[in-house]
Structure formats: C-alpha cells, structure tokens
C-alpha cells in the first residue's frame, strides 16, 4: 500500500472526480522519485505493469481540414507538406489490408482518423461505417477520430461495432482559445457526451509543448479527470512541430516533463489506459521505459501518426521485448462490440446539419501563417 495514500489518492476504492488544479499541480511538482513511486503504486493496483496495448493510427482522409488548429499540418489554412489534393477517402479494401498488416505485426487496435471538422451524413460517413464493420470482424478493436458528431451519428458508429471514439481536449479550456479559433471547448465536451450515450468507450487526452503553462497542463487533467466516467484511454502527446504551422518553432518537450505528465495522469485517472502518443521519435528507449514505469500502458506503433513521424513497429516490438512487456490482446479491458449490418440497423441517416460553434476571436500567430487566397 502506498505510504502517501492521503496525498496521491491511490488507496481510494473508487476513482475521484473532484480533483482540483491545485492538487494536480502539487502532484506534478513532487520530487521525481516520489512522484514515480506513487504513480507506479497506482498503476500496479489497477493494471498489469508489464502489459502494454499497441494501436495503429491510420489516416483515412488526409488534409484539407477547415479548422485552424495551430499544431496541425492538415489544416487547409497553412502551407505544409500535406497537400489538399491527397484528401480522397481511403477505400475499405485498403483499410482492411492495412488493418491485417497491423494485426500481423502485433497491434490490437486500429484507430482511423479523418481530417474533418465534424461528421456529415452522406456517402463518406457510410464508407467509414463499413470500415468499422470490416475491422471489427477481424477481431480487432476499432477506434475513430472524425471530429465532432451528433448522438445519432454516435449510435450508428456503435451499431457498426466501434470500440472507441477519440476526441482530444488538447489543452486547458483557458489556453484552448490560443490554439484554435474555429470551434469551442464546449463542442469537444458535447461530442464526448454524445459518445457516452452509446456503448462506445472514450479516448481523450491532449498535447504538451504548445507554449502552455503548468497551470494549463493541470487544467487539462482537471477537465479529463472530472468527466464521469473518466475516459477509458488518455493519450498524452508531445508536440511534433511541423514547418508551416503556427507552432513550428516550439521547443521539443523535455523527457522529464513527459514523465511527469504521464505519472500525474496515472494518479488522477487510475483506471484509464494512459497512451504514450506523438513525440516518441524524440524520446530514447530509456525515456520511454521511464514513462511505462510511471504508468503509460499503451502506445501508437507504425511509421506515421496521421502525418507525423513515429517509430517503426518492429523497432517498438524489439524495445518491448527487451523490457519484458506483454502485448495486450484485443478486448482485454472491455468486451467486443457486436456488429449490426447496415440493412439491420435501427439508426439511419437523418441528414443532420448541426450548428457547431464558430468563435469570433482571432489568434494572431494562426492568422500570420494563414495562406491567403491571393497567395
């Protein structure tokens, strides 16, 4: 039992949903050895410390996004190497082939990402639903990150067999306004709420290294940990600065900042899977091992995370072997969803056109990188 149970909360029989920013900052700022001990104690109480879940992230529709996320090379507003003309939807056949390749390499989950502001009813969404059905029938966990979506759209994904829906909060509510101007924080929370009305699990985390303060990092963890229930998966990303985006000049995240963030997330969200996500190419294997000790028990494997570099899956498997880590099998933590065929579905396209928020404020650094029509 943890000797510091009164401060780290690891002896609580139930997960807490009332963490404060001050409490989380105090945890984050503990001496590193003490923080690691507390996080590892919590981790061992709720998880197999030698087990890691391996996911593959697949971009099924790349580039051309109308949003102005300062970190994202897929925004049509910025001049990056991601070209709008490559924005065609990937075929179901191609997705299946990629999923089988990932499965043979050891991945248990496929996460499909589309560069959309929000899901729109129509042929492309029908294609995504068929992708979900196809991957679920391969006995793999299937996750999607498609932007904002309505309750009916979430129900349709659930019927198709979706295991998880990713919708990151990115940062604190206060700092969010410095990163994105084309949607609101409430839109993110509303989408998570719509997903929670189904049997789909929630995957939601954020990014560090975007110029945010420690208070902002704590604020993001407050927002995630006070969700009830807490997200089943919490990705912690280190910003990968991409040329042409407003955040291209940000300094790389120090490995000890990443370790502290993982450890703090583990303590305040003890039953969630904490995913070591973007930025691993900048981390040594020793640094990643420290993150696993601190409570990370999931990674994205494969040479790309949507559009940014990532370690090769064979390199990852070699590292996990050296560490003696066991690869989690699909559906170890939650049962496999049943797939309902399209013709048997109880939910159908409603032709919805929801009015998601478009805040009116301008972000100077985003505007400075915007490609004008006359450019």
What DSSP letter does each residue of 36-61 carry, written as one string? HHHHHHHHHHHS-TTEEEEEEEEEEE
Catalytic pick from 2, 8, 10, 143?
A: 143
Q: How many CA atoms lie within 13 A of 225 on its CB side?
A: 26
291 annotated as a binding-site residue: no
Three-class SS of residue 72?
A: coil
Catalytic-residue membership of 69: yes
Q: State the catalytic residue, choosing from 2, 8, 111, 144.
A: 111
Q: What is the DSSP string of 174-193?
A: HHHTTT-SSS-HHHHHHHHH
**Are the C-beta atoms of residues 281 and 309 closer than 8 Å to each other?**
yes
Catalytic residue among 2, 10, 72, 291: 72
Q: Is 144 a catalytic residue?
A: no
Taking alpha carbons only, the member of 90, 147, 75 closest to residue 116 is 147
Residues 64 and 77: beta-carbon distance below 8 Å: no
Q: Which of 65, 133, 144, 260 is catalytic?
A: 65
The contacts of residue 133 (CB under 8 Å, 6+ apart) are: 160, 161, 339, 341, 342
8 annotated as a binding-site residue: no
With a CB cutoff of 8 Å and minimum separation 6, the contacts of 257 are 208, 209
Cα(107)–Cα(89) distance, integer angstroms = 23
Let me know if 250 is a catalytic residue: no
Whether the link from the prior residue into 229 is cis, omega within 30° of 0, is yes
275 annotated ligand binder: yes
Alpha-carbon dihedral sign for residues 356, 357, 358, 364? negative
Active site residue 183: no
- CA nearest to 296, candidates 322, 330, 269: 269
Neighbours of 254 (CB within 10 A): 14
Apex CA 202: angle with CA 344 and CA 260, to 5°? 160
Residue 10 annotated as binding?
A: no
Q: Annotated catalytic, 203?
A: yes
In the set 8, 10, 69, 291, the catalytic residue is 69
Pair of tokens at residue 198: 């189904």
Catalytic residue among 156, 266, 275, 280: 275
What whole-number distance in Å separates Cα of residue 198 and Cα of residue 164?
10
Residue 143 marked ligand-binding: yes
Q: Give per-residue burial for 18-36: e unless 16+ CB within 10 Å, then b.
A: ebebebbbebbebeeeebb
List active site positions: 65, 69, 72, 111, 143, 203, 275
Instruction: Provide the annotated binding site for [4Fe-4S] cluster.
Output: 65, 69, 72
Binding residues: 65, 69, 72, 111, 143, 203, 275
Give the residue numbers of the binding site for [2Fe-2S] cluster.
Answer: 111, 143, 203, 275
């Amino acid at each position: 039992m943890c000797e510091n149970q009164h401060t780290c909360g690891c002896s609580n029989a139930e997960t807490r949903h009332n963490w404060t920013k001050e409490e989380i900052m105090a945890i984050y700022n503990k001496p590193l050895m003490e923080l690691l001990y507390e996080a590892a104690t919590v981790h061992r109480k709720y998880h197999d410390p030698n087990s890691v879940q391996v996911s593959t992230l697949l971009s099924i529709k790349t580039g051309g996004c109308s949003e102005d996320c300062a970190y994202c090379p897929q925004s049509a507003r910025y001049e990056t190497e991601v070209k709008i003309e490559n924005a065609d939807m990937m075929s179901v056949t191609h997705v299946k082939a990629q999923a089988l390749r990932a499965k043979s390499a050891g991945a248990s989950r496929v996460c499909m990402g589309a560069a959309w502001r929000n899901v729109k009813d129509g042929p492309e969404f029908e294609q995504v639903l068929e992708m979900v059905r196809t991957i679920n029938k391969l006995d793999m966990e299937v996750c999607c990150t498609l932007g904002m979506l309505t309750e009916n759209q979430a129900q349709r994904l659930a019927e198709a067999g979706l295991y998880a829906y990713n919708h990151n909060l990115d940062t604190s509510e206060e700092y969010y306004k410095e990163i994105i101007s084309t949607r609101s924080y409430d839109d993110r929370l509303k989408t998570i709420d719509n997903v929670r009305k189904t049997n789909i699990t929630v995957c939601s985390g954020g990014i560090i290294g975007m110029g945010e303060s420690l208070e902002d990092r704590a604020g993001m963890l407050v927002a995630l940990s006070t969700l009830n229930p807490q997200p089943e998966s919490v990705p912690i990303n280190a910003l990968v600065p991409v040329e042409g985006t407003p955040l291209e000049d940000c300094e790389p995240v120090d490995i000890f900042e990443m370790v502290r963030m993982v450890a703090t997330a583990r303590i305040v969200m003890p039953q969630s899977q904490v995913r070591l996500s973007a930025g691993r190419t900048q981390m040594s294997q020793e640094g990643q091992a420290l993150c696993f000790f601190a409570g990370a028990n999931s990674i994205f494997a494969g040479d790309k995370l949507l559009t940014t570099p990532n370690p090769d899956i064979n390199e990852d498997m070699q590292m996990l072997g050296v560490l003696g880590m066991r690869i989690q099998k699909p559906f170890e933590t939650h049962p496999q969803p049943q797939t309902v065929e399209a013709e048997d579905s109880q939910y159908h396209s409603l032709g919805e056109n929801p009015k998601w928020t478009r805040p009116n404020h301008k972000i100077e650094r985003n505007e400075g990188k915007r490609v004008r029509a006359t450019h």
